[in-house]
């Protein structure tokens, strides 16, 4: 077993150290014979001490290197070189850390700038919204009274519409004084009475003094305002159809009274109709002076 090992080592030495081609290497049996007897010690010495020039240079370099490393100056130099290498690595790592920190700082600065712009935009929007809210509140305050008037008018119109759907019965002309008359008829009667008083206050001074009173006269102005207030209340509280029906009923009552009064005087129907027509014009609210 040892002989075969020695023969293989000898073959490898011949190829690697002496440069013998593999094809020209001696057979293993020949190498075994060379390692028999005293040849074994010889070849063992040769394998250990005889090398090619390349191997010798390598061995010398290794010897010089290890010897060089044993020098204090060399060790110090190596330590310094190792320290420099370590410091360079640390510096490179610090540079990378600084670069990352600069990037993070730049990103934070950009984020802060965007946040500042967003805050400014939000503040501007808030100011605009507050200004718009103030304008809307002022506009709402200005529209509050007109809106209230419109709502009141709408309620009056709705109430008037409901009232207009109700039929008003005035009763017969002969029994009108015996029962309760509708409110619209009473209000129309009051307005007509006030109009008659106003016309009396307007015409009687003219007949006595020959001059018309002015609206600044106390008695004239009071009767005029009373009549206007009664007409406004009448038109506000009652539908136009009810007011017209009440006027027609009141005119029919007056016509019946005229016929009753004039029948004793022997007046004809034409004269009675003429006087009734004049009475209707006198009682009609449209005949009021402007």
In this structure, the answer to whether residues 59 and 110 fall within a common structural domain is no
State the pLDDT at residue 12: 80
42 is a domain residue: yes
CA distance 164 to 251: 21
For the residues 50-66, what does the mean pLDDT come to?
Answer: 64
Domain boundary pick from 48, 70, 92: 70
State the pLDDT at residue 87: 94
In this structure, the answer to whether residues 191 and 280 fall within a common structural domain is yes
Q: Is residue 208 pLDDT above 50, yes or no?
A: yes
State the pLDDT at residue 275: 52
198 is a domain residue: yes
CA atoms within 13 A on the CB side of 195: 22
Q: What is the dihedral of CA 79, 80, 84, 86, to 10 degrees?
A: 20
State the pLDDT at residue 135: 93
| Confidence bin at 289 (pLDDT 50/70/90) | very low
Residue span of the structural domain in which 94 resides: 72-165
Chain centre to alpha carbon of residue 89: 56
Q: Is residue 254 pLDDT above 80, yes or no?
A: yes
176 is a domain residue: no
Structure tokens at 172: 């017969």
Q: Is residue 157 pLDDT above 90, yes or no?
A: no
| Confidence bin at 169 (pLDDT 50/70/90) | confident
213 is a domain residue: yes
CA distance 248 to 185: 10
| Confidence bin at 206 (pLDDT 50/70/90) | low
277 is a domain residue: yes
Q: How many residues does the chain have?
A: 290
CA angle 179, 183, 184 (to 5 degrees): 120
> For the chain, how many structural domains are there in total?
3
In this structure, the answer to whether residues 36 and 88 fall within a common structural domain is no
In this structure, the answer to whether residues 200 and 277 fall within a common structural domain is yes
Q: Is residue 68 pLDDT above 80, yes or no?
A: no
Q: Is residue 110 pLDDT above 90, yes or no?
A: yes
Lowest mean per-residue pLDDT among 93-102, 166-175, 230-239 = 166-175
In this structure, the answer to whether residues 189 and 228 fall within a common structural domain is yes
Domain boundary pick from 39, 70, 101: 70
| Confidence bin at 100 (pLDDT 50/70/90) | very high
Domain boundary pick from 54, 70, 86: 70
Q: Is the pTM of this model over 0.85?
A: no
Q: Output the average pLDDT for the chain.
A: 78
State the pLDDT at residue 237: 87
In this structure, the answer to whether residues 151 and 228 fall within a common structural domain is no
In this structure, the answer to whether residues 93 and 55 fall within a common structural domain is no
Q: Is residue 113 pLDDT above 80, yes or no?
A: yes
In this structure, the answer to whether residues 208 and 268 fall within a common structural domain is yes
174 is a domain residue: no
| Confidence bin at 2 (pLDDT 50/70/90) | confident
State the pLDDT at residue 288: 40
In this structure, the answer to whether residues 211 and 137 fall within a common structural domain is no
In this structure, the answer to whether residues 133 and 77 fall within a common structural domain is yes
In this structure, the answer to whether residues 125 and 89 fall within a common structural domain is yes
pLDDT tens column, 31-54: 777 677 777 777 777 777 666 666
State the pLDDT at residue 4: 75
| Confidence bin at 165 (pLDDT 50/70/90) | confident
For the residues 202-223, what does the mean pLDDT come to?
Answer: 63
CA distance 261 to 256: 9
In this structure, the answer to whether residues 187 and 210 fall within a common structural domain is yes
208 is a domain residue: yes
39 is a domain residue: yes
pLDDT tens column, 232-253: 988 888 888 889 998 999 888 8
């Amino acid at each position: 077993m040892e002989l075969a090992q020695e023969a293989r080592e000898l073959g490898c030495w011949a190829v690697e150290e002496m440069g013998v081609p593999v094809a020209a290497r001696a057979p293993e049996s020949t190498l075994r014979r060379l390692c028999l007897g005293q040849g074994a010690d010889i070849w063992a010495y040769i394998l250990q001490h005889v090398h090619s020039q390349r191997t010798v240079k390598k061995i010398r370099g290794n010897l010089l290197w290890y010897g060089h490393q044993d020098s204090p100056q060399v060790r110090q130099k190596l330590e310094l070189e190792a320290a420099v290498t370590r410091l360079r690595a640390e510096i490179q790592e610090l540079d990378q850390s600084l670069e990352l920190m600069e990037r993070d700082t730049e990103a934070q600065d950009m984020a802060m700038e965007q946040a500042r712009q967003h805050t400014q935009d939000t503040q501007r929007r808030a100011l605009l919204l507050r200004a718009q809210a103030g304008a809307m509140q002022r506009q709402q305050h200005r529209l509050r009274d007109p809106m209230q008037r419109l709502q009141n008018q709408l309620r009056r119109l709705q109430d008037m519409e409901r009232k207009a759907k109700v039929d008003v019965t005035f009763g017969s002309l002969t029994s009108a004084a015996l029962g309760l008359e509708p409110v619209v008829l009473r209000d129309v009667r009051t307005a007509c009475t006030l109009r008659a008083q106003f016309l009396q206050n307007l015409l009687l001074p003219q007949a006595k003094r020959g001059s018309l009173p002015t609206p600044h006269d106390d008695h004239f102005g009071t009767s005029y305002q009373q009549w206007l207030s009664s007409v406004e209340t009448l038109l506000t509280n009652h539908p136009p159809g009810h007011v017209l029906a009440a006027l027609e009923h009141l005119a029919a009552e007056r016509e019946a009274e005229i016929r009753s009064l004039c029948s004793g005087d022997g007046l004809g129907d034409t004269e009675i109709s003429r006087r009734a027509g004049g009475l209707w014009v006198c009682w009609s609210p449209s005949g009021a002076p402007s």
